[in-house]
């Protein structure tokens, strides 16, 4: 069994997840490298420096550029990027439904126009599994329908049923690809995705259904798309009792440091979000006292590091004044250093969460930081 639960504090779980590319200490953050690179100029070597455990790449984007067959010919994502730790590939479902224009959904899959050049593409469960088999990721996500939120109840219900049928097709196709020797990584794992918008009954029924499919992990998808945070927390709490206790749980696309702390509090093990890198590129930097905007005039002559409590490579070497100058001057180094700091902060946040769980002090950690880390200073 890949997931091992070490201990619990309330619903919060301390565990580890064994993969062919290494063991992940959980709860953990997955660093988003959409097109096989962190936006902001960070390499696989940099990810090691900032204590990253998992890299996340995107099936849809890599299918378009450079092409999944190119990645396969280069030996898969691990050889291509030189990242030797676990890699999770998102199925492409979210991008198909968020980026693609003129999409047409049938039982077979989705036909849509590429957001790059407009050419027609078909993607269904089998195609998503074939692309991810070529990419050779550690973990493949099942292809699901991402419904707009809010959605009509009946549409959301039918969509859940379709996503469950697609999940069985994903499982069968992955087994076929492995059996026929067509998977770059023959030990690739498969996670299913729970959907149901913000309808608690649909969420619970869908999780009960897919829990029977004996997958390697279970994700909660379709949240953090505009609904209030409290609604998201309610959905997590409703679904959690029905997620298999012996399997890893992944909350997709979440979120702020406070969101992550609340997710852990409710039994989530894995997270991913573009927020640390995207915010960094705009000068919004995370610290243990809250969020600062490095472009503010008050940092013009500030010799302090971004966060005096941080020991990341950036805070060990550079001042707020210097990073402010770089960002104001649109120097690429300013973006790179900011992204490096924010991602280190997120990975270190997970380390501190794990430490608190190990020590039985996660409740105190939650109460101290859940609002503080999301506040602007």
- Please state, in angstroms and rounded to a whole number, the distance separating the CA atoms of residues 91 and 270: 16
Catalytic residue numbers read: 90, 272
- CB 201 within 8 Å of CB 155: no
Tell me the DSSP string of 31-65: EE-TTSSBTTTB-HHHHHHTT--EEEEEHHHHHHT
Long-range contacts of 293-296 (CB under 8 A, 24+ apart): 293/376, 294/320, 294/323, 294/324, 294/327, 294/338, 295/324, 295/327, 295/328, 296/324
Q: Exposed/middle/buried for 41, CB within 10 Å: 0-12, 13-18, 19+?
A: middle
- Please state, in angstroms and rounded to a whole number, the distance separating the CA atoms of residues 184 and 340: 30
- Please state, in angstroms and rounded to a whole number, the distance separating the CA atoms of residues 8 and 265: 10
- Residue 281 in 3-state DSSP? helix
Torsion angle defined by CA atoms of residues 95, 345, 311 and 269, in that order, rounded to the nearest 10 degrees: -100
């Amino acid at each position: 069994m890949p997931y091992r639960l070490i201990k619990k504090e309330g619903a919060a779980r301390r565990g580890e997840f064994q993969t062919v590319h290494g063991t992940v200490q959980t709860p953990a953050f997955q660093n988003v490298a959409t097109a096989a690179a962190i936006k902001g100029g960070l390499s696989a070597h940099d990810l090691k420096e900032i204590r990253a455990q998992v890299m996340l790449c995107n099936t849809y984007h890599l299918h378009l550029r450079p092409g999944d067959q190119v990645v396969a010919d280069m030996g898969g994502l691990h050889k291509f990027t030189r990242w030797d730790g676990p890699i999770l590939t998102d199925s492409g479902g979210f991008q198909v439904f968020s980026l693609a224009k003129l999409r047409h959904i049938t039982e077979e899959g989705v036909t849509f126009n590429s957001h790059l050049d407009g050419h027609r593409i078909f993607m269904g469960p089998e195609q998503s599994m074939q692309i991810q088999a070529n990419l050779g990721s550690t973990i493949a996500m099942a292809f699901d329908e991402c419904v707009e939120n809010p959605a009509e109840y009946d549409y959301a219900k039918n969509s859940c049923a379709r996503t469950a049928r697609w999940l069985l097709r994903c499982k069968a196709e992955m087994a076929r690809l492995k059996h026929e020797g067509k998977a770059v990584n023959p030990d690739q794992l498969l996670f299913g995705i729970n959907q149901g918008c913000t309808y608690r009954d649909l969420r619970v029924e869908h999780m009960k259904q897919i829990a029977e499919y004996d997958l390697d992990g279970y994700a909660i998808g379709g949240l953090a798309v505009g609904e209030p945070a409290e609604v998201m927390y309610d959905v997590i709490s409703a679904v959690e009792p029905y997620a298999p206790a012996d399997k890893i749980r992944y909350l997709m696309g979440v979120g702020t440091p406070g969101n992550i702390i609340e997710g852990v509090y409710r039994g989530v093990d894995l997270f991913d979000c573009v927020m640390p890198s995207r915010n960094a590129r705009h000068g919004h930097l995370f610290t243990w006292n809250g969020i600062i905007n490095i472009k503010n005039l008050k940092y013009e002559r500030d010799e302090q590091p971004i966060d005096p409590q941080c020991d990341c490579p950036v805070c060990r070497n550079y001042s707020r004044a210097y990073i402010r100058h770089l960002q104001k001057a649109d120097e690429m180094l300013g973006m790179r250093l900011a992204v490096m700091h924010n991602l280190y902060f997120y990975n270190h946040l997970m380390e501190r969460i794990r430490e608190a769980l190990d020590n039985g002090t996660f409740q105190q950690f939650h109460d101290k930081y859940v609002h503080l880390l999301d506040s602007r200073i």
